Every structure is written in structure tokens, then in C-alpha cells.
């Protein structure tokens, strides 16, 4: 088991990374005998792990209830959030309870927002089970639900008490989910770490094959990078470093919203968005042809899309992008790469550049 510490102004918390964690270790639970907890998961994971996890917590003396939600991005909504609150209230959970989010980004975001809101804030633990959640969504305290008009538009910053990454859970994921997680990993290489990008070029097949040592190194490196960013910019202030983590997301969220949540996986939409951002940077004279081809090749080798949905007109992106959380005073701002390992936020990107970057991906 490896441990990374996230150090913030008002709180600190550990990220634990390892294999077979729940049979070998107990130190990562910030819970003691007599504590109460609500374990939130989805129906697919419940069939695989719920009984084992509840039994383990009960052995520690934790009074644990559980809530099983439907699986899918379309369920990350205010309607489902109401079910979470109802479950907590009906089981008489107080301000001293702990919410345990056991699942991917949907469960993590939904449970985290519930924890931020329930009785004005309770403790929660992230136990991410997808690659995307392990390298990105579970770390950093962003919690939210979706709205019909935009993804992650209703939420709060609420840091977890700990993040427990059990790499073994990835073995039950379908290949499409693994590829979705690789999009966020590739993003880290593009915006922060050219050495990581080069390592990915040499290691992508091993990651797709879920080679344990390769996965451990990759997850640890991504968590290290994100922990450093969060420490410098916890709440994504204007012009802050954390904004750079949104490379590809402004385009990608437009795809997810337009196509209906769940039809494109988040990482798939981000991958297409990364390619669009690369072409926008090319249009602005800020990214080389050689690096463009390297990004395209790596995304393809990761079995990810490099263009948006054929049925989504280029002009439809702008309708959704103008609602993006990075828009200030009606001006669209995009995170664009300058070189591998370095990205910047561009203010007042012209609509023509956005449209052309989307069209460039179709060629």
C-alpha cells in the first residue's frame, strides 16, 4: 500500500493506493468502533462487493447502513439526490455520520454533494472503483449533480476524509470503461508532465491489459499531480492552476449534455474534446503538427474517439459551451495546450475558432 497526502489550508487527507486493501489493512478508515456510516453504491457493484464490504465494516464495529442506486450518468440528478437524503433521514443519521462513496465518478460526485449538503456537511470517504475516478474524480473535493441544461452545474466543494484506491476493482470493468479512464490520464501528460506523456506512449498497452505494477505507477503519478494542483488552487479560482484540469472538458461536457447523459462516457467525450482543444491551439499557432499527431495517435491506441458525434452539428457545441463554469461575463475561456506538458487558459476565444476546431476533427 502506498500513501499520498493532500495538504490544504483548512484540511489534510490521505490517498491510499494498493491491491487487496480491504483484507490487508484497516488504517485507511477514519472510523472507530461505534461510528455510524451510510455506504452508497450502485446496483452493479452491489452484486459484486456489497456483502463483503458491509461485513468488513461491521467487524470494525461500524454501524453501517447502505443505499443501492441505479448505475449511470443519467442518474446523477437532483431526483436521485433526494433519495439519498431520504435514506439518511429515515435511518436517523446525524451530523456525526460518515458517507462512504463506493463507485465511479457518478457515485462519488453524488455522494460527495450529499455529504456537503446533509445537515450542512458531514464527513465522507471516497472508494473509487473505476480508473477515471481513481486518477481524477475522487480527488479534489469537486461534488455535483447534473442538470438537463448542463453537466455538474449544481454542486459544492467538499473534501473527502480519505480516498481509498483498490486497484483490484479495475479487473471487473469492461474495456470501454478502462479506455474512458485513460482519457483523463492522457490529459495529465498533456497539461503538466511531458515525461508522463512519453511514458504513456511506451506503456499504453500494459495499462489496457491492467498490468498491476504499471497501473500502480500511473495512478500514483496522476494522484501526485492532482494533489499538487489542489494544494495550490483548492477552489479553482480565476486564473488558477486547477482550471487547467479542464482540458477537453468544455467541449466534452457539451457532447455529454447534447447527446444525453450516459450515451457517451465522460472519458470518451473528454478525449474528443482534447482533440478539439488541440486543433484550436493549432488554429491559434500554439501547438505543433508533430505533437498534434502524437496526441491523436495515443488517443487512438487507447481506443478513444478523436472526433465528436456525427449527429451533433458543430454549431450545437456553442449553445452548451456558453454555460460552462469557466465562462466569465459571457466570454468563453478554453484550456488549450501550448506544448506537451504545458497548457494555458485562453480568454475570449472566438466562436469561429471553436467551430473550426470541431470541424478539423472530422477531416
Q: Are 114 and 81 in contact (CB under 8 A)?
A: yes
pLDDT digits (tens, 9 = 90+) for 158-170: 999 999 999 999 9
Indicate if 158 belongs to the active site. Answer: no
Residue-averaged pLDDT of the chain: 94
Task: Please pick, among 236, 282, 320, 325, the residue that the annotation labels catalytic.
Answer: 236
Q: How many CA atoms lie within 13 A of 31 on its CB side?
A: 27
State pLDDT tens for residues 320-361.
998 887 776 567 889 999 999 999 999 878 999 999 999 999
| 236 noted as active-site residue | yes
pLDDT at 323: 86
pLDDT band at 24 (very low <50, low <70, confident <90, very high): low
The pLDDT, as a whole number, for residue 29 is 80
Cell match 449544481: residue?
Answer: 154
- Catalytic option among 76, 123, 221, 253: 253
Catalytic entry in 120, 171, 202, 310: 120
Spot the catalytic one: 246, 258, 283, 325: 246
- Single out the catalytic residue among 242, 296, 303, 323: 242
**Assigned CATH topology for domain 175-362:** Dehydroquinate synthase-like, alpha domain (1.20.1090)
- DSSP designation for 19: S
Residue 320 has a pLDDT of 93
Q: How much is the average pLDDT of 61-85?
A: 97
Burial of 331 (0-12, 13-18, 19+ CB in 10 A): exposed
**pLDDT tier at 97 (50, 70, 90 boundaries)?**
very high
Q: What is the pLDDT of residues 48-70, one digit of tens each?
A: 999 999 998 998 899 999 999 99
pLDDT of 329 reads 56
* Residue intervals in the chain for CATH 1.20.1090.10: 175-362
DSSP structure class, residue 165: E
Percent of the chain with pLDDT over 90: 87
Q: Tell me if residue 342 is catalytic.
A: no
Looking only at the bridges linking them, the beta strands covering 2-7 and 12-18 are antiparallel
Cα 226 to Cα 220: distance, rounded to the nearest angstrom = 10
Positive or negative, the Cα torsion across 102, 106, 109, 112? negative
Note the pLDDT tens digit of each residue in 231-281.
999 988 877 899 999 999 999 999 999 999 999 999 999 999 999 999 999
% of the chain at pLDDT higher than 70: 98
Instruction: With both helix axes pointing from N to C terminus, report the angle between 78-90 and 105-117 in degrees, rounded to the nearest 10.
Output: 60
Residue with cell 480508473: 131
Instruction: Name the active-site residue from 249, 283, 320, 326.
Output: 249
Query: Does 303 qualify as catalytic in the annotation?
Result: no
Name the fold adopted by 2-172: Rossmann fold (3.40.50)
pLDDT band at 21 (very low <50, low <70, confident <90, very high): confident
Active-site residue, from 66, 123, 221, 226: 226
Predicted confidence at residue 356, as pLDDT, reads 97
Q: Say whether 266 is catalytic.
A: yes
Q: 23 falls in which pLDDT band (50, 70, 90)?
A: confident
Buried b (16+ CB within 10 A) or exposed e, 78-112: eebbebbeebbeeeebeeebbbbbbbbbbbbbbbb
305: left (phi over 0), alpha (psi -120 to 50) or beta: beta
Give catalytic status of residue 12 as yes or no.
no
Classify residue 209 by burial, with Cβ atoms within 10 Å: 0-12, 13-18, 19+: exposed
Name the segment(s) of the chain with CATH classification 3.40.50.1970: 2-172
Q: How many CB atoms lie within 10 A of CB 20?
A: 11
Amino acid at each position: 500500500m502506498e500513501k499520498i497526502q493532500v495538504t490544504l489550508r483548512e484540511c489534510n487527507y490521505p490517498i491510499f493506493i494498493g491491491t487487496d486493501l480491504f483484507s490487508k489493512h484497516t488504517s485507511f478508515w477514519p472510523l472507530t468502533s461505534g461510528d455510524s456510516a451510510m455506504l452508497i453504491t450502485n446496483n452493479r457493484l452491489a452484486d459484486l462487493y456489497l456483502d463483503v464490504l458491509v461485513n468488513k465494516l461491521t467487524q470494525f464495529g461500524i454501524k453501517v447502513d447502505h443505499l443501492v442506486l441505479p448505475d449511470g450518468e443519467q442518474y446523477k440528478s437532483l431526483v436521485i439526490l433526494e433519495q439519498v437524503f431520504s435514506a439518511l433521514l429515515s435511518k436517523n443519521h446525524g451530523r456525526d455520520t460518515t458517507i462512504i462513496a463506493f463507485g465511479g465518478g457518478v457515485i462519488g460526485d453524488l455522494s460527495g454533494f450529499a455529504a456537503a449538503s446533509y445537515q450542512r456537511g458531514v464527513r465522507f470517504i471516497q472508494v473509487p472503483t473505476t480508473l477515471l475516478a481513481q486518477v481524477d474524480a475522487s480527488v479534489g473535493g469537486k461534488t455535483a449533480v447534473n442538470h438537463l441544461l448542463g453537466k455538474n452545474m449544481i454542486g459544492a466543494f467538499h473534501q473527502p476524509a480519505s480516498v481509498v484506491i483498490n486497484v483490484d476493482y479495475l479487473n471487473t470493468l469492461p474495456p470501454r470503461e478502462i479506455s474512458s479512464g485513460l482519457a483523463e490520464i492522457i490529459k495529465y501528460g498533456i497539461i503538466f508532465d511531458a515525461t508522463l506523456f512519453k511514458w504513456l506512449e511506451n506503456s499504453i498497452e500494459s495499462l489496457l491489459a491492467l498490468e498491476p505494477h504499471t497501473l500502480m505507477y500511473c495512478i500514483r503519478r496522476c494522484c501526485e499531480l492532482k494533489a499538487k494542483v489542489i494544494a495550490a488552487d483548492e477552489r479553482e479560482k480565476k486564473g488558477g492552476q486547477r482550471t487547467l484540469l479542464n482540458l477537453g472538458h468544455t467541449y466534452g461536457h457539451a457532447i455529454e449534455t447534447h447527446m444525453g447523459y450516459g450515451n457517451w462516457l465522460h472519458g470518451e467525450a473528454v478525449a474528443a474534446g482534447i482533440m478539439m482543444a488541440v486543433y484550436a491551439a493549432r488554429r491559434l499557432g500554439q501547438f505543433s503538427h508533430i505533437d498534434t499527431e502524437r496526441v491523436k495517435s495515443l488517443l487512438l491506441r487507447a481506443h478513444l474517439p478523436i472526433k465528436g458525434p456525427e449527429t451533433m452539428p458543430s454549431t450545437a457545441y456553442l449553445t452548451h459551451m456558453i454555460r460552462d463554469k469557466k465562462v466569465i461575463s459571457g466570454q468563453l475561456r478554453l484550456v488549450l495546450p501550448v506544448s506537451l506538458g504545458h497548457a494555458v487558459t485562453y480568454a475570449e476565444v472566438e466562436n469561429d475558432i471553436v467551430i473550426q476546431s470541431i470541424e478539423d476533427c472530422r477531416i
